[in-house]
Amino acid sequence: MLNPAVAGTRQDIDARINYRNQWTGFDGAPKTMGASLHAKLYKNKMGIGGFVFQDKIGPFTTLTTALAYSFRVKFDDVALSFGLNGSYNMQRTNAGLMTYQNTQDVAISNIASTQKSNIFNAAAGLMLYNDRFHIAFSANNLLGTTYNYDQKKGDDPKRGEIQTVIHYGVSVGYNYSGDPNYVWENNLMAVYVSGTQIL
C-alpha cells in the first residue's frame, strides 16, 4: 500500500489485512482498513499486486483500489526492485458531520451538495533488499490530481476542490531470526509532505 516496489518480493503469495484506529475517543477520529495481495512472476523477475483500502477522517471517506507492477534486477546478494501503481480513488463527504461557520461559502456548499468525487492517481518506488534487510524509497500521489466537487461547467472558477499532494517515504528494515521458525521484522519509516512536519 505504501510502496509498489514491494510487489512480488516475498517467497510466496503475500496476503494481508490491515486495520488502524487513531485518536481513539475523539469524534471523527481517523480509521483505516484495507486488504492487499501480491506475488512474484516470471522466475522472480517481476511482481504484481493489488490493494483496496478505506480511509475515514471526520466527514470524509476515501475508498482506494490500486494495481501494482514491479521489475527486479538481481545481484549477488541483493535485489533492486522498481515498482509502479495506478489507483482509482473515490471520496465521499457526509455533510451531516460538518459544522459551518459560514453557510454562504460556495466551496463548502458545493462539497455538501455533491458529496462524491473520483480521481485517478499513481505511485512509484524502489527497494534494495535481501532476506535480511531492506532500504526503500516511495512517492505516492504522483499525479497531484484534484477532487472536484464543483458540478458547474464553463469558465467559472472551480470551487470545492481538494488537491492531492505527493507523499515521499523512506524506510529501512532488518529481519532478525534466532529461531528458524520465526522472523522478527523491524521497519522504520519517515514520510515527508510539503508544508508539514516529517512523520
Average the pLDDT over 146-159 and give the result: 68
Q: What is the pLDDT of residue 193?
A: 92
DSSP 29: -
* Alpha carbon distance 143, 68 (integer Å): 16
Q: Which residue has the cell 490493494?
A: 51
The tens digit of pLDDT for each residue in 39-67 reads 999 888 899 999 999 999 988 999 999 99
* Alpha carbon distance 166, 70 (integer Å): 20
The tens digit of pLDDT for each residue in 13-22 reads 999 999 999 9
Q: Is the pLDDT of residue 146 over 70?
A: yes
The percent of residues in the chain predicted with pLDDT above 70, rounded, is: 94
- Number of C-beta neighbours around residue 129 at 10 A: 19
Neighbour-count burial of 182, counting CB atoms closer than 10 A to its CB (0-12 exposed, 13-18 middle, 19+ buried): exposed
Q: In 3-state terms, what secondary structure has residue 169?
A: strand
Residues in the chain: 199
Question: Which pTM does this prediction carry?
Answer: 0.83
The tens digit of pLDDT for each residue in 168-179 reads 999 999 998 878
Q: Is the pLDDT of residue 114 over 60?
A: yes
The number of helix segments (H) and strand segments (E) in the chain equals 1, 11
Give the residue, 49 or 111, on which the prediction is more confident.
Answer: 49
